[in-house]
Homo-oligomer: A and B are copies of this chain.
Amino acid sequence: MYQIGELAKKLSVTTDTLRYYEKHGLLSPCSRSDTGYRLYNDGNLRSLQFIISAKKCGFTLNDIQELLSIQVDKSSHSCHEVKSFTEHKLQQVEDKISELVAIQSSLKKLVEACCGGNESAAHCSILSTLEDDNGITH
């Protein structure tokens, strides 16, 4: 059994984070000491690893809550369900990437067009492009 600080240290999170996860239904300590201290067991530790891994994969805490509810009762859920869920998240990530790549391209055009010299910005192509109504084409 671990106290909150021990578990936090073990997996490099803060105690605030653990309390936050508890409050939001992601991870509850298996018991409490007589004096009210949170006590975590190895199952809790594995759940926390799950949460951290899922976060690294870009799942939000809301997503993870859903994944955990599947995980604790696997037999009531299908592989298909889990895969769809993951594919949906992948799609979201790819949408965000496309958006950023479009922005990247706009910025690259600005940078490439600009001389970058030490003279005054009076005729700076970046500023004039931004001033121009139709300067940016996405």
Contacts and interface: CB of A to CB of B under 8 A. Distances in A.
B136 A75 contact: no
Number of identical protomers? 2
Q: Is the interface of A mostly helix, strand, loop or mixed?
A: helix
Contact of A107 (B90, B100, B114, B136): B90
Contacts of A132: 53
Interface string A48-81: 0110011011100000000100110011111111
Contacts of A104: 58, 90, 93-94, 97
Interface residues of A, number: 60
Contacts of A78: 117-121
Interface of A: 46, 49-50, 53-54, 56-58, 67, 70-71, 74-84, 86-87, 89-90, 93-94, 96-97, 100-101, 103-104, 106-108, 110-111, 114-124, 126-127, 129-133, 135-136, 138
